[in-house]
Amino acid sequence: MANRVSEAVDRLFRVATSGEASALTGLVEAAARDRKRPITVVQSHKNLPLGVFGQWVQHPDRDEISCAEWVHARERTLAHELGHILLGHRGRPAREFAEEFLPTAAHGLAKIMLRRECSDGHDAEEIEAEAFASRLLGRVNSNQASRNPGVRARLDEAIR
- Show the domains of the chain with their CATH numbers: 2-137 (1.10.10)
Which alpha helices (DSSP H) does 16-120 contain, by range? 24-35, 74-86, 94-101, 107-113
Largest CA distance in the chain: 62
Strand, helix or coil at 124? helix
What is the pLDDT, as a whole number, of residue 116?
Answer: 42
Percent of the chain with pLDDT over 70: 69
Contact of 78 with 28, CB cutoff 8 Å: yes
The Cα 94–Cα 98 span in angstroms is 6
On the question of pLDDT at 29 being above 90, the answer is yes
Q: How far apart are CA 131 and CA 80, in angstroms?
A: 8
Nearest Cα neighbor of 9 from 80, 92, 102 is 80
pLDDT higher than threshold 50 for residue 53: yes
The values of phi and psi at residue 154, to 5°, are -65, -40
The C-alpha atoms of residue 152 and residue 90 are separated, in whole angstroms, by 34
pLDDT band of 12, cuts 50, 70, 90: very high
* Of the ranges 9-18, 107-116, 118-127, the best mean pLDDT one: 9-18
Instruction: Give the number of other CB atoms < 10 A from CB of residue 100.
Output: 11
> What is the mean pLDDT of the segment spanning 47-54?
77
Position 119 pLDDT exceeds 60 = no
**pLDDT tens-digit readout, 129-158:** 999 999 999 999 887 766 655 566 666 667
User: Residue range 106-116: average pLDDT?
Assistant: 58
pTM of this prediction?
Answer: 0.74
Better-predicted residue by pLDDT, 92 or 126:
126
